[in-house]
Amino acid sequence: MKVMKFGGTSVGKPERMHDVAKLITADPEKKIVVLSALSGTTNALVEIGQSAARFDREGAAEQISRLSNHYHTFIESLLASDKARERALAIVREHFEFLGIILRISFSESLNKDILAQGELLSTKLFSVYLEEQGIPHVLLPALEFMSIDAEDEPQLDQIRLKLSDLLARYQETGLFITQGYICRNAKGEVDNLKRGGSDYTASLVAAAIQASVCEIWTDIDGMHNNDPRIVKKTVPVEQLSFDEAAELAYFGAKILHPTCIWPTRQQNVPVKLLNTMQPLAAGTVIQKTTSSKGAKAIAAKDGIIAINIKSSRMLLAYGFLRKIFEVFEKYKTPIDMVTTSEVAVSVTIDNGSQLKYILKELEPFGTTEVEEGQTIVSIVGNQIAETKNVLLKIFDGLSHVPVRMVSYGGSKHNVSVLIPSSYRNETLQKLNLKLFGLE
Ligand code: ADP
Ligand code: ASP
Ligand code: MG
């Protein structure tokens, strides 16, 4: 059994949904198909939630009506028969009725999660109507019945495995399952989600849970490129990546994959393929346990980074000191991305500043602290970078006019990271593209 996940642009137009139906019926292997919301929908729902949160009922109503029109037009071209259109219309009505109700009740964070869930519920139900119209047998599996996260917002793979296998056992004869990406239930049983871009995470968790033969992530580009195609002019797809390399790229900003979606497939050793819905024959990228190729493979950038420097002439590097500093970040559930130390100072970076003022207060006894916002981590990822000739030379050559704030090298064999002011990001990615890959 395999998993195929289709992102927002892959289902964002009626003709794309038609293509998806062809792709999922092209081979006889049993499969679970994970769908995102139609492109633009989750952004629209985020805005609706924001309007509702500031009691801007008029604004929210207008946004809801615009989105509703979009769905009405969408089903006209998606479906041919009156019967199917009637069914789709009823589905759209039901979900927009819910959105209408939010204008009349009090706003809360949990209501917001319900709002955000509407996109994936709509896309899967409409796709199911289309499959039915085409006479393609399938079962719609509600993700809210098996996808769950714990009190720390971590997916519960064991629970997911149990619930999913129970559900699948009810449909022994079925070869095609459709389910929602992104949405799940939290520890309180409420509707929640796996954060933006979370459908990749759903696909990876489902693939790990059923021990799939492969987890295919179908998107709008032919695989992981060697650099960010939104910023750099010339980029090329990377044929192969190890799980470790892919995990680093995803975490450090390669938007094609959700930041933490690789661990489930890595844990269960399920290969992942990144494929292009618009160019199904392109090779894409294969992600598996090991990779034969060595050297730098791709560069990614993660913005919104905050650097914190803690200076202490007295205690630094006395044993136990670093632990005490890290404990402060642990207490406020704030992960640290990069660390560098010297005899008199420690610098760390975080990407979530929501607890910063409390963290700084607790760091006061350790010395003086300085905070720099607006930083970007640029990560150069590959296999055995450390042992690859001249890689460091090329990296520093590419960075010669950039005020590098921190360097992290040696933490893993797959990654060299540098911290730079975000204003230098585009120029840095472009220069490294030339120095490391000879691409201008
Ligand atoms: P989906 O809606 O299918 O989940 P996303 O927009 O989340 O698609 O991810 C695909 C996009 O990721 C591409 O269109 C591309 O602009 C962006 N992207 C950023 N970095 C990379 C990279 N290194 N390789 C490929 N795509 C990347
Ligand atoms: N629809 C969600 C989002 O836009 C999840 C996803 O597309 O992966 O973030
Ligand atoms: Mg995505």
Q: Please give the order of strands across the beta sheet that includes 339-341.
A: 339-341, 345-350, 295-311, 368-383, 415-421, 406-409
pLDDT digits (tens, 9 = 90+) for 358-371: 999 999 988 899 99
- Number of neighbours of residue 324 by Cβ within 10 angstroms: 14
Confirm whether 94 is domain-assigned.
Answer: yes
**Is 313's pLDDT higher than 70?**
no
| Stretch among 31-45, 107-121, 186-200, 335-349 having the lowest mean pLDDT | 335-349
How many angstroms separate the CA atoms of 341 and 62, rounded? 52
Question: For 47-68, what is the mean pLDDT?
Answer: 96
Confirm whether 420 is domain-assigned.
Answer: yes
Atom of ligand 2 nearest to the CA of 120: 1
**Is 224's pLDDT higher than 70?**
yes
Q: Is 284 in the pocket of ligand 2 (CB under 6 A)?
A: no
pLDDT digits (tens, 9 = 90+) for 385-404: 878 888 999 999 999 999 99
pLDDT at 402: 96
Domain that holds residue 182: 2-220
Same structural domain for residues 345 and 203?
no
Q: Is 40 in the pocket of ligand 1 (CB under 6 A)?
A: no
Handedness of CA 409, 411, 412, 418 (dihedral sign): negative
Confirm whether 37 is domain-assigned.
Answer: yes
Q: What CATH number has the domain bearing residue 378?
A: 3.30.2130.10
Confirm whether 398 is domain-assigned.
Answer: yes
Contact indicator for 119, 42 with CB cutoff of 8 Å:
yes
Total domain count, the chain: 2
**Is 420's pLDDT higher than 80?**
yes
pLDDT digits (tens, 9 = 90+) for 149-197: 999 999 999 999 999 999 999 999 999 999 999 999 999 999 999 999 9
**Is 319's pLDDT higher than 80?**
no
Cα-to-centroid distance, 7 and ligand 1 (Å): 10
In the chain, % of residues over pLDDT 90:
90
Confirm whether 238 is domain-assigned.
Answer: no
- Which two three-digit tokens encode residue 105? 């009740």
Question: For 130-157, what is the mean pLDDT?
Answer: 98
pLDDT at 384: 87
Q: Taking all residues of the chain, what is their mean pLDDT, rounded to a whole number?
A: 96
Confirm whether 249 is domain-assigned.
Answer: no
| Stretch among 173-182, 265-274, 406-415 having the lowest mean pLDDT | 406-415
Instruction: Please enumerate, as own/partner, the contacts of 355-362 that have beta carbons within 8 Å and a separation of 24 or more.
Output: 356/306, 358/332, 359/308, 359/328, 359/329, 359/332, 359/334, 360/308, 362/328, 362/331
Q: Which residue has the tokens 């300085």?
A: 370
Contact indicator for 95, 35 with CB cutoff of 8 Å:
no
Question: For 7-36, what is the mean pLDDT?
Answer: 98
pLDDT at 315: 62
Same structural domain for residues 193 and 69?
yes
Q: Minimal CA–CA distance to 262: which of 289, 284, 237? A: 289
Quote the pTM value: 0.96
What SS3 class is residue 159?
Answer: helix
Query: Strand pairing partners for 111?
Result: none
pLDDT at 410: 82
Q: What CATH number has the domain bearing residue 121?
A: 3.40.1160.10
- Which two three-digit tokens encode residue 256? 């094609």
Confirm whether 52 is domain-assigned.
Answer: yes
pLDDT at 159: 98
pLDDT at 317: 60
Q: Is 182 in the pocket of ligand 2 (CB under 6 A)?
A: yes
pLDDT at 253: 96
Atom of ligand 1 nearest to the CA of 258: 7
| Nearest-ligand number for the alpha carbon of 7 | 1
Same structural domain for residues 142 and 48?
yes
Confirm whether 231 is domain-assigned.
Answer: no
| Nearest-ligand number for the alpha carbon of 40 | 2
| Nearest-ligand number for the alpha carbon of 34 | 2
